[in-house]
């Protein structure tokens, strides 16, 4: 059992297909299957409920490039949903830690590049003051933290589609443990927003 030195929680957020995949069998970067569901009220409210208590975004390099390339453009965009603008503003203004062995320096403001295992980075962040550490859809980071039993809150958007192949979020061999359901919402198109807390 890992002792936490502060109250900082590690909160992970991921979109999954009904057959448990975070990407299809082709291009892992192709998230077009997510888009019809990501703009639903339940998905937007789900994300808004996560970043409000967070002060740090933890991302892998690929996701950082995607998130930080897109989200800042939403601020001030005509017709943008206020929840999307709120998240975009939070992402720009908050501390960002990007795990990468290839990036030398950060092309984004308030961003630190770290070349260390995810569990070590989380241990370092837990030793500092701040709010939740939010891991945004970075599968490699989430998988490493699940394997190290370092996830305190597991947030999932489950979308009613079978991808029929592709990588799964939950690998065999994860540490056994119990989770309690913190919240559940169902929305348009059969979208489910689920939040589980780790029982320690």
pTM above 0.85, yes or no: yes
Dihedral of CA atoms 121, 68, 52, 147 in degrees, nearest 10, equals -30
pLDDT of the chain, 200 residues: tens digit per residue? 344 444 899 999 999 999 999 999 987 778 889 888 888 999 999 999 999 999 999 999 988 988 888 999 999 999 999 999 999 999 999 999 999 999 888 888 999 999 999 999 999 999 999 999 999 999 999 999 999 999 999 999 999 999 999 999 999 999 999 999 999 999 888 999 999 999 99
Is residue 2 a part of any domain in this protein? no
Is residue 65 a part of any domain in this protein? yes
Q: What do you get for the CA distance between the two ends of the chain, in Å?
A: 8
| Total domains present in the chain | 1
Is residue 136 a part of any domain in this protein? yes
Is residue 154 a part of any domain in this protein? yes
Is residue 4 a part of any domain in this protein? no
CATH number at residue 112: 3.40.430.10
Q: Phi, psi at residue 147, to the nearest 5°?
A: -65, -30
DSSP secondary structure string, 43-88? HHHHHHHHHTTEEEEEEEHHHHHHHHHHGGGGTT-TT--HHHHHHH
Domain span including residue 148: 10-199
- For strands 192-199 and 54-60, give the pairing: unpaired
């Amino acid at each position: 059992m890992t002792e936490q030195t502060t109250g900082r929680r590690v909160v992970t957020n991921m979109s999954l297909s009904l057959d448990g995949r975070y990407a299809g069998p082709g291009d892992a970067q192709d998230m077009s299957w997510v888009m019809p569901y990501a703009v639903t009220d339940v998905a937007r409210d789900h994300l808004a409920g996560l970043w409000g208590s967070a002060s740090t975004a933890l991302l892998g390099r690929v996701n950082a490039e995607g998130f930080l390339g897109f989200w800042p453009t939403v601020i001030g965009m005509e017709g943008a949903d206020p929840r999307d603008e709120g998240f975009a503003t939070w992402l720009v203004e908050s501390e960002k830690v990007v795990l990468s062995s290839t990036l030398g320096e950060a092309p984004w403001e308030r961003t630190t590049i770290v070349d260390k295992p995810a569990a070590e980075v989380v241990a370092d962040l837990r030793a500092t003051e701040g709010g939740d550490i939010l891991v945004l859809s970075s599968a490699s980071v989430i998988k490493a933290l699940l394997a190290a039993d370092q996830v305190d809150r597991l947030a999932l958007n489950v979308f009613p589609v079978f991808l029929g192949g592709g990588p799964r979020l939950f690998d065999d061999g994860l540490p056994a443990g119990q989770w309690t359901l913190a919240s559940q919402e169902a929305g348009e198109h059969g979208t489910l927003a689920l939040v589980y807390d780790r029982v320690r």
